[in-house]
Amino acid sequence: MSDNYEEHDNRPDHTQEARRHDPIGRKESAPLKISTLLDQIDLGTLTLPEFQRGYVWRREQVREFLDSLYRRYPVGSLLVWETRRSAAPVRPGSPASSEIVTLLLDGQQRLTTLYGIARGRPPAFFQGDPSAFTGLHFHVENETFEFYAPLKMRDDPLWIDLTTLMQQGLQPFIERFYRDPALADRLPTYLERLNKLRSILDIELHVDKIVGEDKTLETVVEIFNRVNSGGTTLSLADLALAKLCASWPEARQALRASLARWERAGFRFRLEWLLRTLNAVLTGQRTFDRLVAMPPAEVRAGLQRTEKAIDYLINLISSRLGLDHDRVLGSPYSLTVLARFLHLRDLRPYDAREIDRLLYWYVYSVLRGRYAGTTESAVAQDIAVLDGSPQDIDRLIEQLSRIYGKLEIRPADFQSWSIGARFYPLLYLLARVARARDWLTGVELSHALLGKTSQLQLHHIFPKSLLYEAGYRKEEVNALGNFAYLTQSSNLTIGAREPAEYLPEIERKFPGALASQWVPLDPDLWRIERYRDFLAARNELLAAAANRFLDGLLHGTVPHEEVAIPALARPQPVAPGSIASDEEERALLACSDWLRAHGLPEGLLRYELVDDDTGALLAVLDLAWPNGIQEGRSEPVALLLDEPEETIAIASRMGYRCFTTVEDLQEYVRREILVGEPLAAD
């Protein structure tokens, strides 16, 4: 079984029969106790190959896995590759105790989880978030597993910390139960359960072993992918990186160092993307054959050149277009193609007009989704038209036109909804380059106010609550045409007032501020019942503004002045927290909708938590209720999905009650806020 471990049952284990008909040549060895496997990890004789990805299990998977072990459900066998260290790069951090090493191919998530719980720390080869298995507790009466929750567990002696049990045995808990007369009668039952829990380390797991000089790295990767077919398979990039590490052991660390530097500036990229970009820069090819055959010194020099190209592009796009963080950057593979273009030009475009045409192509490659779906083939097609000549950008633009037709922005493009929409970056770009103004101060928002480190917020021109009451759908409520940018204080001041009430005040006090964000000035369109007409009119204005700017880039008529300090040239305070995916964003929006259905306020998405004294950004909270879900009557609340402990610690220090799953937040609402009130249907 693979480590895509989701659910378990007590059906018979048919792995023995499956192994007799295994088409990939696995050889079964004698079963090994879990404690023995953990000892081998300590000795360095059992470790991970370099091509293995990091630890990815969520807390729910950890909890279910331990529950299955406790109930003695089958949890599958392990697959290992016994080979010489010289035959396959080993994950950094593994002690080199012998030339022969056993590499774990299938079972990383399971053994890493067991090691972390039993030893109280991750193994040396660990890459991931250790909080996924830290603090797991067992309720000795109910026989359930949960992660530590102070309010629930602090004063309940029946919650047992698994790591303490594994390391110190039963004695500390025997003493605890003896001290409580109410628990004395249940002591034999509790001891039986604790013994059963601790004896998990004595469970034997079958280990299938791949051996033989004929098993090359490529063969083993193929076997890995077959075994792991239900989960994430290894790509050609993974195999290429493993081969690079064989000749240049520090390759992965060098790539990660580049990624970390960009992330500190607000741009989070994936390791595979950087490897593919490096390959594109050095070889101009889709496959990695030439890259992995290069001498390490040549690859190192190529990485430095790739970094310089990406730095140039990030600074250019940030300063010229105002797209200054990864959520508005679009597909990073547009940067891959442009990095190859810069490499062929020795990192120097010809002139200002070529730069603007480059940006014109970049924006449309994002808006048209050039690298959505079949990314590799699209990148290969675009790189193929580049030869270092003055016609390169023209060829890229012509290729886009052939595929997508006339390059222009239509009003209908702004009918998409949510900040995960493809055209959201264009709305952000327009606010940056057109000197949009705040509505309650009249201050321009284009100079270092927008962006990841700002206190700027998205504002719904027509409040969501009023639109929902009027019967509008979610897609209409969150349409891009209903978004404007305001400072945090202005957004809070306006609140949920009707546009017909507050927009006339803004136009009177700061003439031109509404027009700077393309708000139709016909007061009749500011009424709730005219909302759809308002969207249609604003979309027309937005499309016209976008076409003027993009046509200006194409024809060289946009003035050359920076709209912001280049992203990599300005100091960037590191603020933890972000929404990692559209899927996560949808979960957060659904949670907000759930609260609204129960008559409670929706949360603020991507709420920027700032220091009240200095204004410094401390963290970005996925979803927050800074005034409490019962405003003025309950503490501030934050929902943080898959966030690091640092984000949770900062929010907690600032007085927020933090929840890491939607289910936990909903349970809190039911238990402490909706008590005694009729529940709306979930």
Q: Are residues 321 and 460 in the same domain?
A: no
Q: What is the pLDDT of residues 268-301, one digit of tens each?
A: 888 889 999 999 999 999 888 899 889 999 999 9
Q: Helix (H, G, I), strand (E, B), or coil: what is residue 484?
A: strand
Give the model's pLDDT for residue 181. Answer: 81
Six-digit token pair at 416? 């998409």
Give the model's pLDDT for residue 582. Answer: 56
Q: Are residues 222 and 314 in the same domain?
A: no
29: pLDDT confidence band, cut at 50, 70 and 90?
low
Question: 3-class secondary structure for 61-73?
Answer: HHHHHHHHHHCCC
CA nearest neighbour of 488 among 587, 326, 628, 617 = 617
- Is 16's pLDDT higher than 50? no
Q: What is the pLDDT of residues 199-255, one digit of tens each?
A: 999 999 999 888 877 777 667 767 766 666 444 555 677 778 877 877 787 888 899
Place of tokens 């924006």: 363
CA nearest neighbour of 453 among 598, 579, 572, 597 = 572
* Choice between 483 and 616, residue whose per-residue pLDDT is larger: 483
CA nearest neighbour of 460 among 443, 438, 477, 436 = 477
CA nearest neighbour of 62 among 111, 13, 11 = 111
pLDDT average, residue stretch 314-336: 89
Contacts of residue 175, Cβ cutoff 8 Å, sequence gap at least 6: none
Does residue 576 lie in a domain region?
no
Six-digit token pair at 384? 């193929």
Give the model's pLDDT for residue 661. Answer: 94
Distance CA(243)–CA(245), nearest Å, equals 5
Q: Are residues 389 and 431 in the same domain?
A: no
**Spatial contact of 548 and 462, defined as CB atoms under 8 Å apart:** no
DSSP 162-188: HHHHHHH-SHHHHHHHHH-HHHHTTHH
Give the model's pLDDT for residue 456. Answer: 63
Average pLDDT, the chain: 82
Does residue 522 lie in a domain region?
yes
Q: Helix (H, G, I), strand (E, B), or coil: what is residue 81?
A: strand
Does residue 570 lie in a domain region?
no
Q: Are residues 422 and 462 in the same domain?
A: yes
Residue type, position 409, single letter:
I
Distance CA(79)–CA(177), nearest Å, equals 41
Q: What is the domain count for the chain?
A: 4
**Residue 124 belongs to what domain range?**
1-233
Give the model's pLDDT for residue 70. Answer: 96
- Is 423's pLDDT higher than 90? no
Q: Are residues 529 and 623 in the same domain?
A: no
Place of tokens 């490499």: 343
Give the model's pLDDT for residue 565. Answer: 45
Q: Are residues 86 and 166 in the same domain?
A: yes
Q: Helix (H, G, I), strand (E, B), or coil: what is residue 682?
A: coil
Q: Are residues 660 and 625 in the same domain?
A: yes
Contacts of residue 95, Cβ cutoff 8 Å, sequence gap at least 6: 43, 44, 124
* Choice between 106 and 523, residue whose per-residue pLDDT is larger: 523
Question: Residue 142, Cβ neighbours under 10 Å: how many?
Answer: 10
**Spatial contact of 431 and 517, defined as CB atoms under 8 Å apart:** yes
pLDDT average, residue stretch 464-474: 91
Share of the chain above pLDDT 90, in %: 41
Return the beta strands (E) in 336-472 as ranges: 456-460
Give the model's pLDDT for residue 205. Answer: 93
655: pLDDT confidence band, cut at 50, 70 and 90?
confident
Q: Are residues 294 and 318 in the same domain?
A: yes
Does residue 566 lie in a domain region?
no
Distance CA(585)–CA(327), nearest Å, equals 12
CA nearest neighbour of 203 among 123, 114, 142, 135 = 114
Give the model's pLDDT for residue 467. Answer: 94
Give the model's pLDDT for residue 10. Answer: 35
65: pLDDT confidence band, cut at 50, 70 and 90?
very high
Does residue 134 lie in a domain region?
yes
**Spatial contact of 207 and 80, defined as CB atoms under 8 Å apart:** yes
Give the model's pLDDT for residue 189. Answer: 92
Q: What is the pLDDT of residues 600-625, one digit of tens each?
A: 888 887 777 766 554 456 788 889 98
Q: Are residues 628 and 657 in the same domain?
A: yes
pLDDT average, residue stretch 512-520: 95
Question: Residue 475, Cβ neighbours under 10 Å: how many?
Answer: 11
Does residue 575 lie in a domain region?
no
Place of tokens 């909302």: 531
The domain boundary, picked from 233, 267, 291, lies at 233
The domain boundary, picked from 382, 407, 432, lies at 407
**Lowest mean pLDDT segment, chosen from 174-178, 468-472, 576-580:** 576-580
* Choice between 428 and 576, residue whose per-residue pLDDT is larger: 428
Q: What is the pLDDT of residues 532-582, one digit of tens each?
A: 999 999 999 999 999 999 999 999 888 766 444 455 544 434 445 556 555
Six-digit token pair at 403? 């595929």
* Choice between 677 and 229, residue whose per-residue pLDDT is larger: 229
Distance CA(635)–CA(122), nearest Å, equals 34
∠ CA(440), CA(453), CA(618), 5° rounding?
A: 105
Q: What is the pLDDT of residues 355-408, one digit of tens each?
A: 999 999 999 999 988 887 667 889 999 999 999 999 999 999 999 999 989 999
Q: Helix (H, G, I), strand (E, B), or coil: what is residue 77?
A: coil
Dihedral angle of Cα 202, 208, 209, 210, to the nearest 10 degrees:
-160
Give the model's pLDDT for residue 448. Answer: 42
Does residue 562 lie in a domain region?
no
Q: Are residues 342 and 434 in the same domain?
A: no
Q: Helix (H, G, I), strand (E, B), or coil: what is residue 90?
A: strand
CA nearest neighbour of 71 among 134, 152, 8, 17 = 8
Does residue 679 lie in a domain region?
no
Share of the chain above pLDDT 70, in %: 82
Q: Are residues 392 and 418 in the same domain?
A: no
The domain boundary, picked from 185, 208, 233, lies at 233
Q: Are residues 178 and 46 in the same domain?
A: yes
Distance CA(33)–CA(102), nearest Å, equals 16
